[in-house]
Structure 1
Amino acid sequence: MTPLDTSLPDTDAAAANGLLFVASDVDADDDADFNRWYDQEHVEERVRIPGFLSGARYTSLEGGRKYLGLYRTQSLAVFRSPDYRAAFEKQTPWSVANLDRMRQPIRRVCAVRAVTGLGSGSHAVVLPLPMAADTEALVARAARIGKALTEQAGFVQSYLLVPDTALSTPLPRESTEGRVLQPMLVIETSSAAAACTARTTAAVAFDADPATGWLLALGWKLSAAELR
């Protein structure tokens, strides 16, 4: 049997993971309790939902919102499941309080496409991309760019997030005026310097503005396989 070549990008829509992308700012007075809630309750609570694979927390170094949570799932179907609906509809009082503390929140439920590389990086870039009329052409382009990024020092993984319009319902405090569900390229690296270099390379390749790319540091990550 020929071994799987993990350097080749995964562009199969049928096999795509899902991903919940939640970003927000928080007032300084609420910051400590917000982080306790996320670290002591919310991440584990979400990762325990059947079909969730992992949850990770990031803090912004440049651009975007101060905090970002990324939750990988087996597929987009997980977000239509009774288990997810129950968790979403039956929030704890602590969750209700902290969801209300989110400022300028962004919630997207996305398909994870054009996956290139393996592992989790200490830093990440989120690069919003122009809207595309042809999703599959965008996926192919992201795969080519991801393959080129593998040649750069510090590259770990890249993937394209394609928001699902029906599933990306807004958070309570999220503005719906002018709300655009842009695709996003996520690049994970082993250092901040590598992330900056990758951000510039990807932005040029996508005809995007590098200044719109978020630069983030990983706080911590929980895998479903770690739960008892």
Structure 2
Amino acid sequence: MSQAETFTPASTNAGQLCIWTDTESHSEADFNAWYDREHMQERVAIPGFRFARRFLANDGGARRYLALYVTASLDVFHSDAYRQAFTVQTDWSMRNFARMSNTQRRVSEQRFEAGAGEGGHAAIFVVPPQAMQSVASAHWREAAHAAALTPGVHAVRVFVTDAALSSPLATPGATASAARQDALVIVEGSSNDAAREAASKLATLADIEPNADTIRSFDMLWRLSA
């Protein structure tokens, strides 16, 4: 598939690439310049990519940087154009990949959405495999719809990880967590406190203890559309 071709998804569910990571403090300026001036532009130029966003943690926790790339469907990650971009990286990319730590890479499919739009703040939590049934239940989804109507909250989305597509970053010696068949819940809003509170309630309903390790919150740095 060439860059000039349009991408026609086989599925109507959006796909998402999530990169959640840290970088070395002494090279942080270069890391941000690389993301902002090269990497996001490269990715949104791939057929099927819709937009990309970057976030910075506001809760003082480790793994401070979050990048979310939304695609037309999960099929985009099987395309020749994406495989080419993933396997042939620039020198600038390779230098920054080598500096990244505690990295989690998830390729996933959106399975649920309540509300609409995006927010300047996002609260997230990971749903482990043993809790996946909980977030698929009617009771949990009713609570998510109610949460999306809370003042300061705009949307709740669930992205289910495709473990086979979520291999580590393409760099020798990269530190990456092994991919699991888990899910990522993203609560977005105009209020950081409201998004965190909604995420905490939804985590509790999924039998996930809400604490500083399980509920993380971020401020959006910027957004780039295809």
With the shorter chain as reference, the TM-score category is: 0.7 to 0.9
CA distance in 1, matches of 2:23, 2:187: 25
Q: Is the 8 A contact 2:49 2:72 kept in 1?
A: yes
Q: Which runs of 5+ in 2 are unaligned?
A: 1-9
Correspondence list, 1:114-125, <5 A:
114-125=112-123
Tell me which residue corresponds to 2:4: none
Is residue 214 of structure 1 aligned with residue 212 of structure 2? no
Cα offset, 1:45, TM superposition: 0.9
* 2:121–2:191 CA contact under 8 A, matched in 1: yes
- Matches of 2:197 and 2:91 in 1, distance apart? 42
1:101 to 83, 99, 102: 99
For the Cα contact (< 8 Å) 1:114–1:140, is it kept in 2? no
Letter in 1 for 2:121: H
Distance in 2 separating the partners of 1:191 and 1:148: 16
Structure 1, 50-59 or 162-171: larger mean CA deviation: 162-171
Contact in 2 for aligned 1:127/1:213 (Cα 8 Å): yes
Matched length:
210
Cα offset, 1:181, TM superposition: 4.1
2:110 aligned partner, one-letter code: V
Report the Cα offset of residue 130 of structure 1: 3.0
Distance 1:133 1:196 in 2: 19
Distance in 2, Cα, partners of 1:197 & 1:133: 20
Number of the residue aligned with 1:144: 142
Q: Which amino acid aligns with 1:174?
A: T
Q: How far apart are the structure 1 equivalents of 2:218 and 2:66?
A: 8
Instruction: Provide the residue aligned with 1:174 in structure 2.
Output: 175
Q: State TM-score, norm by structure 2.
A: 0.86
- Give the corresponding residue for 1:69: 67
Alignment of 1:29-108 (within 5 A): 29-62=26-59, 63=61, 65-108=63-106
Deviation at 1:159, TM superposition (A): 0.7
1:42-84 deviations in Å (ceiling 9; x for gaps): 1111011000011000001124511000000001110000110
For residues 134 and 215 of structure 1, the distance between their equivalents in structure 2, rounded to whole angstroms, comes to 21
Listed as ranges, the gaps of 5+ residues in structure 1 are 1-12
Aligned position for 2:7: none
Once residues 68 and 24 of structure 2 are traced to their aligned partners in structure 1, the CA distance between those partners, rounded to angstroms, is 21
* Alignment match, 1:160: 158
**TM-score normalised by length of structure 1:** 0.85
RMSD: 2.0
Q: Among all aligned residue pairs of Structure 1 and Structure 2, give the percentage whose two residues are the same amino acid.
A: 37
Contact 1:127 1:185 in 2 (8 A): yes
CA distance in 2: counterparts of 1:74 and 1:114, whole angstroms: 15
Are 2:110 and 2:159, in contact at CA under 8 Å, matched by a contact in 1? yes
Deviations 1:115-142 (A, max 9, x none): 111111010011112314866x633445
Tell me if the contact between 1:23 and 1:69 (Cα under 8 Å) persists in the aligned partners. Answer: yes
Report the secondary structure of 2:58's partner residue.
Answer: strand
Q: 13-22 vs 110-119, which deviates more?
A: 13-22
Q: Which residue of 1 aligns with 2:129?
A: 131
